[in-house]
Chain A
């Protein structure tokens, strides 16, 4: 079941110059939400951005009935959304998409940039099952990292920055944690990063799952705008069959 609800901005926090967190409260209780799922937020009154913005779920608090998201200001709608105030309302459709696998014995979670956001809820899901996952976070520089201490409460955190300002210097694929053995790699971030991670996983014969960010119009499987080409089924909707895919299933 999907819902369209007015959610109230309970808390807004600027995480770094580009990213902000919104904690959105529902008056009705929340349904089960899976890690890797996303919400579709209506940002009103942006003439050039009529459509909703798909944003990954960063965290869920079933007691408080809140969903948190982390948004990067990258264009007209996200800039407009960044002007929202606490206690304002947002029209949100959720939860959309499938899920990251949650049954891995020893998962490595790899995030790049704002793509790190959904990995918190994923890591927390594993942690609550008694598996403390490894989370590897990549960024260009230390200013782009966010909420590292929060991730540390549920995961073993490893960091790579391109300028070496924190953690190991270089790309995530060069991080030493990559040499340890894992049952699966689950990744979300810029496409070049996910491709590089998927290639490494392939070489080491570890299964790898990636979360795609295709352009979407409806988010519910109705328009077929968001497709990605797969090896076994041709063009499939990222919004319903994804956003999480087995890396070796997609042609990219």
Chain B
């Protein structure tokens, strides 16, 4: 049964509880239906979607590292048209907050995807993944430069009329500066962090463990970095922040809310335990009992 004490909001988005699932770790949701009720989640964020079909990077795309994993999937997906025609009809209505993660390698591509998703009635928000390389600017990530970040958000804002979440990369010198630029450009909320640029080496074979040499680190290993980023950003912007990075249990969720997150996304933990979200939701209710909270949102930004 729904525990009203867990009801949360991200700006205009109303959530049953503060749990979303992170893009790229939850497929299109249906992969997890044998393990949990999709409608029990605050929402779920589907795979990164681009303007055209992408094959992604060559295998191997995965290496395990202390308390984490490095991935180099490289945005393999069938493109936004395929999503709208074939995936959307299968998933719509499974949760009030199905959110599409929008990626691209040019501003035009981001805008194309955003405007097509804008027409899908039951998708109340997109999450703009600005960690992608800008092919027109020598492959530098949109999200690592405040002007480039602001520009892509400004342009997407023109074509996207619903709730616009912008997802930040931690691989920057000053995340506050990027967050503020993105807020000014029209983001409705921020989600952070995306994966941390990392590398793993096989000492025996004397070779890198993944095909692209470097990849994105996720899992508990990045939680302290993520907490720091969420704390820094949430105290320096006036829009809601969604915390992401290494969340494995309810205690982690509480930590992110204390440093300023209005909601959280669970990523790698879904691989370890496909029903982890159910467990976390139950444990958050316990936490409310133990700490006599009327609502979980009382925790937001206490630190």
- Decide if A217 touches B71 in the complex (CB within 8 Å): yes
B104 within 8 A of A: no
State how many angstroms separate the Cβ of B261 from the closest Cβ of chain A: 22
Pair B68/A3 contact, Cβ less than 8 Å: no
B interface residue count range (under 10 / 10 to 19 / 20 to 34 / 35 or more):
35 or more
Q: Mark A101-135, 1 if CB is under 8 A from B, else 0.
A: 00000000000000000000000000000000000
Stretch from B135-143, B158-166, B270-278, B280-288 that touches the partner: B270-278
A50 contacts B27, C-beta separation under 8 Å: no
Identify which of B24, B55, B59 contacts A223 (C-beta below 8 A).
B24
| Of the residues B25, B62, B66, B76, contact of A222 by C-beta under 8 Å | B25
Please pick, from A3, A49, A222, the residue contacting B32 in the complex, using a CB distance under 8 A: A222
Contacts of B180-226 to chain A: CB distance below 8 A: 219-220
Contacting residues, chain B, for A91 (C-beta < 8 A):
273
Q: Please count the residue pairs between chain A and chain B whose beta carbons lie under 8 angstroms apart in the complex.
A: 100
- Chain B residues with Cβ below 8 Å from A228 are 59
Q: By DSSP majority rule, is chain B's interface helix, strand, loop, or mixed?
A: loop
A2 and B34 contacting across the interface, CB-CB below 8 Å: yes
A50 and B219 in contact, given A42-B272, A215-B60, A227-B59 (Cβ under 8 angstroms): yes
Nearest-CB distance from A93 to chain B (Å)?
6
CB distance from B223 to the nearest CB of A (A): 12
- When the two chains form their complex, are residues B272 and A227 in contact, meaning their CB atoms are under 8 A apart? no
Considering only residues 40-72 of chain B, those with a C-beta below 8 Å from chain A are 47, 55-56, 58-69, 71
Specify which of A3, A234, A235 lies most central, judged by the most chain B CB atoms within 10 Å of its CB. A235
| A residues less than 8 Å from B268 (CB atoms) | 50, 217
* Docked complex: A206-252 residues within 8 A CB-CB of B: 214-229, 234-235
Contact across chains for A51 and B272 when beta carbons are under 8 A apart: yes
By size class, the interface of chain A is 20 to 34
Tell me if A225 and B62 are in contact (CB < 8 A): yes
Report yes or no: B272 in contact with A50, Cβ–Cβ below 8 A.
yes
CA–CA, A215 and B211, complex, Å = 13
Could you say which of B26, B56, B66, B271 contacts A51, with CB atoms under 8 Å apart? B271
Any B CB within 8 A of the CB of A47: yes
The answer to whether A221 and B62 touch across the interface, beta carbons within 8 angstroms, is: no
Residue ranges of A at the interface with B (Cβ–Cβ < 8 Å): 1-4, 42, 47-52, 91, 93, 214-229, 234-235
- The contact sample of 17 A-B pairs, CB cut-off 8 A, is A1-B34, A4-B35, A4-B273, A42-B272, A47-B67, A50-B67, A50-B219, A50-B268, A216-B62, A217-B62, A217-B271, A218-B271, A220-B32, A223-B25, A224-B47, A225-B61, A225-B62
18 further interface pairs, Cβ-Cβ under 8 Å (given A218-B31, A235-B76): A1-B34, A3-B34, A4-B275, A48-B65, A48-B66, A48-B67, A50-B68, A50-B272, A51-B69, A216-B62, A218-B25, A218-B27, A220-B32, A221-B31, A223-B271, A226-B62, A227-B59, A227-B61
6 nearest A-B pairs in the assembled complex, by CB-CB distance: A222-B27, A225-B62, A222-B31, A2-B34, A218-B271, A217-B271
